[in-house]
Amino acid sequence: MSKITKQYILLDSAGIRRKGQREFGAENFAVFKTIQTAYQSDIICLVVDGSQPLSHQDQVVAGIAKEANRSIIVVANKSDLVDLQSKKEFERQFYRRFFFLKVKDFIWVSALEEQGMNLIWDTIDEAIEEKHQSIPENQMRTIFNYLMKNKPPKKLRTEKKPVIYDLLYKGNNPHTFEMLLKSRTSIDKNYLKFLENFLRRQFQLYRSGIKIVLTEVEKKQVLS
């Protein structure tokens, strides 16, 4: 499908049925194909029916999108059937139920009335641009020095104080950061959540997946 001079490859996930309509073999195949499609994609558009309560299918696909760690755009269809107050309540329920998703863009559209469709393409373009940005080494060095001085990880109750040698940027599919740790060092999960949110804010990665890899090394490996 083309939009002006740009080309997009659309991958549609297999249909995942409602609980009462499922057949074991067909359901497993549909989930497998959806997982496969998610990992093949740069951007995931999570399409939901905005006129109905969030469903089992939505829950499954949201979980797959989370695991694939791709940029996620939520598209709520049937905006022509929903008033403003109901839209606000639907969005509130969505963010409450799918709190585990990092979602910046929630777009209301009407496929029937062809409303809001251009906004999808514009948002996809912005997400792709963010996805392909690179982070210079000097910026990572500045961030690392700031963190170690002002926001270092705390010592766990039964562990030694964490020693972090470096924080490296490794690539953008998804945006991946490697933390080099002293051998047998433990990092609290809450610190990793803080670090992810901190990196999102610093580099404006509000739409992108972020992966933090912990690598234990000897100090001499870092110095060499």
Q: What values do phi and psi take at 117, rounded to 5? A: -65, -40
Asked whether residue 160 carries a pLDDT value surpassing 80, the answer given is no
- Residue 13 DSSP one-character state: P
- pLDDT tens digits for 53-98? 998 888 888 999 899 998 999 999 999 999 999 999 999 999 999 9
Judgement on whether residues 25 and 114 belong to the same structural domain of the protein: yes
Instruction: Classify burial at 185, counting beta carbons within 10 Å of its beta carbon; exposed 0-12, middle 13-18, buried 19 or more.
Output: buried
Domain containing 78 equals: 2-131
pTM of the model: 0.79
Return the H-helix or E-strand segment holding 105: strand 105-108
Pair type for strands 164-172 and 175-182 = antiparallel
Judgement on whether residues 14 and 84 belong to the same structural domain of the protein: yes
Averaged pLDDT for residues 163-169:
94
The alpha-helical segments, DSSP class H, found in 105-218 are 117-131, 137-150, 189-203
CA proximity to 172, closest of 145, 150, 146, 203: 203
Asked whether residue 200 carries a pLDDT value surpassing 90, the answer given is yes
Q: Which residue has the tokens 């740069």?
A: 42
Judgement on whether residues 122 and 149 belong to the same structural domain of the protein: no
Q: Bridge partners of 110? A: 115
Q: How confident is the model at residue 22 (pLDDT cuts 50, 70, 90)?
A: very low
CATH code of the domain covering residue 182: 3.30.300.20
Query: What is the total count of domains within the chain?
Result: 2
